[in-house]
Amino acid sequence: MMARLKKVEEYERELNQLRVQDAEEYNVIKIKLEHDVQILEQQLQQMKAIYQLNQEKLEYNFQVLKKRDDENTIIKSQQKRKLNREALGEDPEAKKLVEEEQSRSHKQTEESRQVSKPKSLAWKGDQSPRWTAQAKRPRAFVEVRKAQRGESVSWAVEESACGKPAAEKC
């Protein structure tokens, strides 16, 4: 019986020793896990802050893009109206240029009737200002279009096929 009693006491000591070791391990693991939880909560708060910041940035950028789109729409419509006015001849500057060119072309027509025309630049009919050979459009039309586009306009003397001025015969 003594041996049995010794074994029971020995088992109780070992059992108490295991309980103490397990309690210590439990406390160490618990402290480590609580620390990990705190770190994860901090990271979660940082991610929420970053998410909120990014959301605000996106909303701001969306508003900026929306405003730019509205401005671009307005500018496009203004440009379309300007082009339509120019195409219809409602632009005051274009009207002035057209009137000046018409008066010049009328003077040139009168002068060219007095001078014999080379074959390469003969008019088709008296009323219609269409060229038969070299140029596909009358010079006045081309010069007015250049002036409307803002290109430099040269009122140089027309040349015939041989390179001499149109007023001279080849």
What pLDDT, in 10s, does the model give residues 44-68? 999 999 999 999 999 999 999 999 9
pLDDT score for 96: 75
Taking Cα atoms as reference points, which of 151, 154, 147, 156 lies closest to residue 95? 147
Residue scoring higher pLDDT (126 or 76): 76
What does the domain layout of the chain look like in residue ranges? 1-88, 89-149
pLDDT score for 114: 61
What pLDDT, in 10s, does the model give residues 12-28? 999 999 999 999 999 99
- CA 141 to chain CA mean position, Å: 34
The token pair that represents 155 in the structure block: 């009122």
Average confidence (pLDDT) over 6-15: 92
**pTM of the prediction?**
0.40
Is the model's pLDDT at 132 over the cut of 80?
A: no
The token pair that represents 74 in the structure block: 């307005």
What pLDDT, in 10s, does the model give residues 82-130? 888 777 766 667 677 777 878 877 777 776 666 544 444 444 444 444 4
Question: Are 101 and 144 in contact, with CB atoms under 8 Å apart?
Answer: yes
